[in-house]
Chains A and B, each alone.
Chain A
């Protein structure tokens, strides 16, 4: 029942937001989705976040920086339409227009795939800069899906960022890695090197399971915020619908029944400066008896 009212407010928001894109032309905002640790939900987040932005009327492109291990195209369900990729564009073997894949379901959404074959070192900062500068003229948001790790690939993905989604799972190694990534955002990016305003950071706690938090065997979102001390954007609950979405190659926000999808919409709204109550942080209320016995 809760779900329905959520959907309604979502539709209203779409109507309000489309006018925002008609304002004076400004260059795109570059957002990196980063984590340090692998497998925490960067690609899932990149796909959902960019899809929700596009659905709200912003012209959005999502770029895969995971050279050699690309999978954004699989999550977005456009793997069979990939002809040219980011590295082809950088090396002048294809044009940007040839490489950009227009999403078939969502207006305003484009995917720029990474190369599956080439080695990582051919992704140069200068090459990426040329591509990003060209994209900046044409889009409102550029979402960069970072590879795992803290080496060159991750640095390249974050280098041109204006804002960062720091994706963290509520467990020790993921939080530790996020802390290192936060340090890198403050030192290894273009904004840091050129002494501009720092990259604006947002904490996103994914694969969150409130019932385990309640039982005391998972760090709470508040614990993670206390340690990382960057502005909190919300939680994405651990959800079966994420795997279902990736099986079918459709970003999870397209599933109207999905709690994770709703959480991503909330997150995008907050990112855009709207206020949304924090949901999915608590265990759904149960009957008096089961609460008493804590099952």
Chain B
């Protein structure tokens, strides 16, 4: 490390390392989205409609995703029930 860098970098983090971190997140996110089937959003809406017949839930309480673990594809459905609903 250069002598003057010692003072420069101690106060502020390098913008290039910020850029790298942001890119790793963006790219991982976009790759996941590109590899997931495009019917997912519609399917999520349909499931939401069915669940709502019985339990009042909001849009953000349901989450549908496809994950790959090894050779196996897993369709994961998460429905979060808040305290007041359900019981």
Which residues of A are interface residues toward B (Cβ below 8 A)? Answer: 171-172, 175-176, 179-180, 183, 213, 215-220, 223, 226-227, 291-295
Does the CB pair A216–B31 fall under 8 Å? no
Chain A hits for B30, CB < 8 A: 176, 179-180
Main secondary structure of the interface of B (DSSP, over half): helix
Number of A-B residue pairs at CB separation under 8 A: 54
Q: For B17, give its contact among A172, A180, A216 (CB under 8 Å).
A: A216
Which residues of B are interface residues toward A (Cβ below 8 A)? Answer: 2-5, 9, 14-17, 19-20, 22-24, 26-27, 30-31, 34
Chain A hits for B27, CB < 8 A: 175-176, 179, 227
Does the CB pair A227–B23 fall under 8 Å? yes
Q: Which residue of A lies closest to B15 (CB)?
A: A217
Tell me the smallest distance from the CB of A203 to a CB of chain B, in Å.
14
Q: For B5, give its contact among A172, A220, A223, A294 (CB under 8 Å).
A: A294
Does the CB pair B16–A218 fall under 8 Å? yes
Does the CB pair A217–B31 fall under 8 Å? no
Q: Which residue of B lies closest to A217 (CB)?
A: B15
Chain B hits for A218, CB < 8 A: 16
Tell me the smallest distance from the CB of A112 to a CB of chain B, in Å.
32
Tell me the smallest distance from the CB of B35 to a CB of chain A, in Å.
9
Complex alpha-carbon distance, A216 and B16, angstroms: 5
Chain B hits for A291, CB < 8 A: 2
Chain A hits for B23, CB < 8 A: 172, 175-176, 219, 223, 227
Does the CB pair A176–B16 fall under 8 Å? no
Does the CB pair A217–B14 fall under 8 Å? yes
Q: Which residue of B lies closest to A223 (CB)?
A: B20
Chain B hits for A215, CB < 8 A: 5
Q: Which residue of B lies closest to A292 (CB)?
A: B3
Which of A179, A180, A216, A291 gathers the greatest number of chain B CB atoms within 10 Å? A216
Does the CB pair B3–A219 fall under 8 Å? no
Tell me the smallest distance from the CB of A71 to a CB of chain B, in Å.
29
Instruction: List the 10 shortest-distance A-B pairs measured between CB atoms, nearest first.
Output: A216-B14, A294-B2, A294-B4, A223-B20, A179-B27, A217-B15, A216-B16, A227-B23, A219-B16, A172-B19
Does the CB pair B22–A172 fall under 8 Å? yes
Chain A hits for B34, CB < 8 A: 180, 183
